[in-house]
A and B are shown apart, each in its own frame.
Chain A
Amino acid sequence: MVIEKPVLPTWEWLFGQSDASAAGAFFEFFKVALILFVLGLFVGLIVSVFRYGPARGLQNYLRVLRQAPRDLLGISPRRVLGLAVLAMREAYRRRVWVALMLFFIVLMFASWNLAPNSDQPAVIYLNFVLTAATYIMLPVAVFTAAFSLPQDIKNHTIYTVVTKPVRPSEIVLGRILGFSVVGSGLLLAMGTASYIFVVRGLDHTHQITEEDLLPETHRGRIVNFQGETSNNDRHRHSVDIEARNFYPEFEISSSGTVTRVGRSAADAGLRAGDRVTAIKGEPLTEKNRDQKLRGLAGRSLSDVQLSLIRDGKKIDLTVPRTILETFTGTNRGHKHRIVTRRSGTDKTTATHAVGPAEGMFLARVPQYGSLRFRDSKGDPQDPRTWTFNEQGVNIGKIFSYRSYIRGNTLAAAIWTFDGVTPEKYPNGLDMDVNIRVYRSYLGKIDAPVVGSISVRNPDTGKRSREQIFSGKDFTIERMQIARKVWSLDDELIDLFADGLITPDGRTEVWISCMDPGQYFGMAEADVYLRSRDASFTLNFIKGFLGIELQIILVTALAVFFSTFLSGPVSTLLSFTTVLLGFNKDFLQRLVRSVLDPELAQQAVAYKRVYGGGPIEAAYRILLQLNITSELETSPLTSAIKVIDVVIMYVVENVLHLLADFEQFLEVQYLSYGYDIPWDMLIQHSFSVISFMFATYILGYFILKSRELAR
């Protein structure tokens, strides 16, 4: 999954972007509310006159309008709470907890078949629990909410409620809140069970014994040990232990003070609190600290000379190198930390401790930059418009989201990032790169297309030497530009101190394709920096909050429909609304394909939906016409098209009122290891509150103008 559209900051989403290219949601809401208000006034009058005759209809209409402000604003929290509690009891009586049992049963048997050989088991596990929770909870929410009020009206129990000082608005609100709380309770239980299921279900470790590793020698000396871990959870990891990477067993602070001492170092006489002044006879200074610390590494059980100061006295010690920390190779989206210890008493054997899986559950926090291109001649600007190139080459794909750069030319994709500071990126720039590879000739199909990546200061133009990487299609590659990189002058320079990043934290990342005739395709969101990962547990909670918002939305809609429809019909309508809401984008494209003559004329267009409007589609079915073939021009087809345009115009306006369930991407974010931005949750909360508000107002008017004893 790639995040194609980064989430806007909430303020911008609410009040519009600074360039005023789009009105904010706040203004859109008021626009729609105003239209609905005017439309409601008109439709209400018509319905009232139709039902009660002109004089009495007008009288009833004015009465409802007169009483509305008091009824809508003068709600009593105690009454609403009472009605909400009643709704909860009713839901319990209807045995909604069976849904929970069903979910638990599904979980119990799921692990038998779930992702035994998948490359991304965490994605599959998360997708499964989130999808199961959503698909179990949505019908439960619809059924409980849609049948409640019609059942009360049918059983006449509503008589004893509305003859109390209860406002219709309170009946609607109480039900929405009550059923939402029930949904939340069920989701909380499902979420807890899911978390345990996912985390415990994928929790595992491996073992490494001496027999698993084979030494690899070079000129008679062992350079590394290679092998595999034991087979656990139906997979193994490759292991590669460098023979020269053993360290003495102690930890040292930035000031050079020993903070923790392991057994072998303690046996050699080292203590916590000692201050290291020199390593192998060379003094340790602030400037050369990193380099000298790297000098601690060496072959196992070889010794390191340390000079220390303890209690003001200078001491020289010899400490053996006994410990090595490394990682297994990545398999199935995770790796394990290995701590290898070699004992001083038994020099022939080593113990390998393998830690739990790491990197399986991610909550990546992407920092996006802005993308521009240089063309094949290296020109940053379009010669026709004198504006910066925002697009690369189109290789003929209809989906024009990504632009392509040609290999072995001066073409480059350039991302500019802001806010890059040493505090956020102390070890260099961690980034995820997700590119598409387009091969204009097959070549060696199993050989990767090679690319290069470099860093450039946007102000001074100073840049690092290019690093080479293998471009893999449909893969998110984790890359790192280390804190120390080689400059074009073959000097090892610091990203921050030596001017590859501007003082205000801006830098450019350049990516080029190096294989002639091949192309790299990319979009703005394909490369992002990763300063830190967020907490997976918190992200998990946010993911379930996203489902919760959908449940509340569906509940509000079902309660609203039940104010004027019977239980089965409101259920059907609620499901239809959800189904349409999940396909809103398609519907919008369908409508635009009929209404927008320019789009309708295009033979090949990603956004076009073929087949015309409903009448044209029926006509095509009747005559067994292909959906892509043009209709012959005749008075009949012209009339069909005109009718379709009218229908689609109405549909387009109705679509504005449809909840966009496609926007609720929390589940995908969580499954694919992205941190769910708070902005997204806040914006979705605003959307849900808006819908609740609308259903509250509309539900009130319908219930108020309805004769409940008929």
Chain B
Amino acid sequence: MRRMKAAAIATTMAGALTLAACSGGSSGGSASEDPDTSGGDAPNELTFMFRGGEYDKIAYQQAIDNFEAETGASVTMIITDADQYATKLQAAIAGNKVPDVFYIEPGRMQGYVYAGVLADLTDYVAQDVLDDIWDFGVEAYRFDKETGETRTGPLYGLPKDVGPFGFGYNTVMFEAMGLEAPDKDVPLTFDEFVALAKELTADTDGDGELDQWGTGLNVQWNSQAFVWGAGADWISDDQKTITVDDATFADALQWFADLSIVEGVTPSVEQAQTLDTYQRWMAGEIGFFPVAPWDIATYNAVAADNPDKFGYDVIPYPVANAGDDTATWLGSLGIAVSENSANKELAAQLATYLSTDLEAQKILAENKVQIPNLKSYAFGDWIETDAPAAGWPANTEEFLQIADDYGRALPGTFTYEPGWYDEFWVGIEQVTDGQMTAADYVAQKQGSMQQLLDLAWTNADQAKAQG
């Protein structure tokens, strides 16, 4: 009898488990709330997981239509919320349900390569295709796992985009104040920038309170250009040594903080949140502010609604001294292929389409989602006719120069993990609020950042050894 009971329980559990397994696998490949992210099984089936807005979807549908027509393949698109993408991808990898093609951030690439998740695309992408993509966009996805060197070695992805973080000024405000517009080719020096910012900072309605400011920059997202523009950096070229405890670095950071504390050309220390200054910039209350491709559609709409207060153009970031090289950061998101894809070659072909299909690139650029990935198009028809027709700013070429020439990756992008870089910003308010000098701050941070950088390298070595 006891045996019978045990058998009954075992049978029932087995049945229930089978049912559970069936239901788990029945989610299919549709873009439902909890989609099956597994790669396609049939010879011509692929899955593509990504995040993005409406225009990304339209553009990729166009690229995928072209791809399907040419190859006879069938592609299932899986779109997720931007803030959940990384977590979902990691869960998909842990659950061995890796999509054939998916977005990858350069900063996460090393761990994925060591774990054998990403396919080496070197042999699948033709050199002439790579030659027509921004160098930064290709190098960001190269990684030599033997030496740990980034930006060189096998290719593990292609850029979905490159995002130049430009600088801009309010053309309407300059005109109203009778100021000469900054040169579009020669960067302002720090001193010239402060002098102009002071002239722009004013009480325009005469109520005794300032209602217009020279600038209003967020330290975490905007100070890089100024630190680099002074010739300093967070990390050494080999990505192994923290370099913040340096007089040039400290001076540049202090200069940045002093825009508020000493010069008074920003709304106020308390108002230095991006949200505030972003809105003040669009309200025509701020003279200089960052301008990036993803802002263009919004800025254009604001300029159309409020032409008496707001208009803008792009200029290079200021530099410490005349003749110094201007700098800013250049972001990127990549498109990678699963090492376990049943159709690796086809998946690599799809990744190439998504990155370089001309029709898709035109849709994305026309809708101001990004600058084109293809250099030939960007420097040709786009900058000559398509960009002006679509309403990109007059000096859009600055974006192309950032992408082609002087844009840099954010510090932390090319190390195994960016904990050391995040550490720099914990407590930065003490500098921007004037409670601590930049020199004291960087001296205090050097050790803890180096410790975390060393840990990142140790973890990278362990990931390499463990696979």
Genuine A/B complex = no
Residues of A within 8 A of B (CB): none
